[in-house]
Structure 1
């Protein structure tokens, strides 16, 4: 499996800048402001294509409290690809079972737990 394919499997479907603006009625300026404020996760490919993982949106809006989580993750490492992996990778239990992805836990309202885990991971990444 190539590295690009592995990332595609981790991240899942993405919107381009144009498709996100068109589909959800955002303005380009509004999207760029949301990215700068860490309200929307933007991934930039090695050939400078801007992508927006679909997993972070519900009905065209970012999942509530995503900015809180991204802000904490940003404190440890400035790598949106790492943040995307942290949010969207299924977790596996010690006995091989699968736990919900962090983005799904955020949707379910586990903000306190996620912020604690994000702080711990951000600290580890930063050291």
Structure 2
């Protein structure tokens, strides 16, 4: 794996499960995890973390389930997806998928996700 600081710079802040539960409640986190609504990343020391851009003040931002569905068959790319989702994209007007979802532009974010998944599958 690449230097962890490289991933941190690309992904931004992360929350542990405990931090997310403290902020949003155990029930919300359980429902989001079971529904596939969150991108979970396993660190080199075997801790599961969640990119903070997936959350707003109330909990998980709507639309992540649909975005992540584009990559369901690619379980080996979670860190790459996390970095990609926080990278400005021309197709989104120089916004990231995370920004698009936060602005309630789910359709655009989902289209970008499926396009990326198709490119990566080649």
Normalising by the residue count of structure 1, what TM-score does the alignment of the two structures yield?
0.79
- After TM superposition, the structure 1 = structure 2 runs for residues 76-115 of structure 1, keeping only pairs within 5 Å, are 77-78=74-75, 79-91=77-89, 99-115=94-110
- After TM superposition, the structure 1 = structure 2 runs for residues 27-42 of structure 1, keeping only pairs within 5 Å, are 27=27, 31-32=29-30, 34-42=32-40
Corresponding residue for 2:26? 26
The SS at the match of 2:37 is coil
- The higher radius of gyration belongs to 1
Alpha-carbon shift at residue 32 of structure 1 (Å):
4.8
C-alpha distance in 2, partners of 1:11/1:21? 20
Runs of 4+ in 1 over 4 A off after TM superposition: none
Count of equivalent residues: 119
Contact 1:39 1:66 in 2 (8 A): yes
Alpha-carbon shift at residue 71 of structure 1 (Å):
0.7
Whose strand proportion is higher, 1 or 2? 1
Give the alignment partner of residue 70 of structure 1, picking from 51, 68, 71.
Answer: 68
Contact 1:43 1:51 in 2 (8 A): yes
C-alpha distance in 1, partners of 2:26/2:58? 9
Contact 2:32 2:60 in 1 (8 A): no
The SS at the match of 1:99 is coil
C-alpha distance in 1, partners of 2:107/2:23? 32
- After TM superposition, the structure 1 = structure 2 runs for residues 42-57 of structure 1, keeping only pairs within 5 Å, are 42-57=40-55
The SS at the match of 2:62 is coil
Normalising by the residue count of structure 2, what TM-score does the alignment of the two structures yield?
0.82
5+ long unaligned stretches in structure 2: none
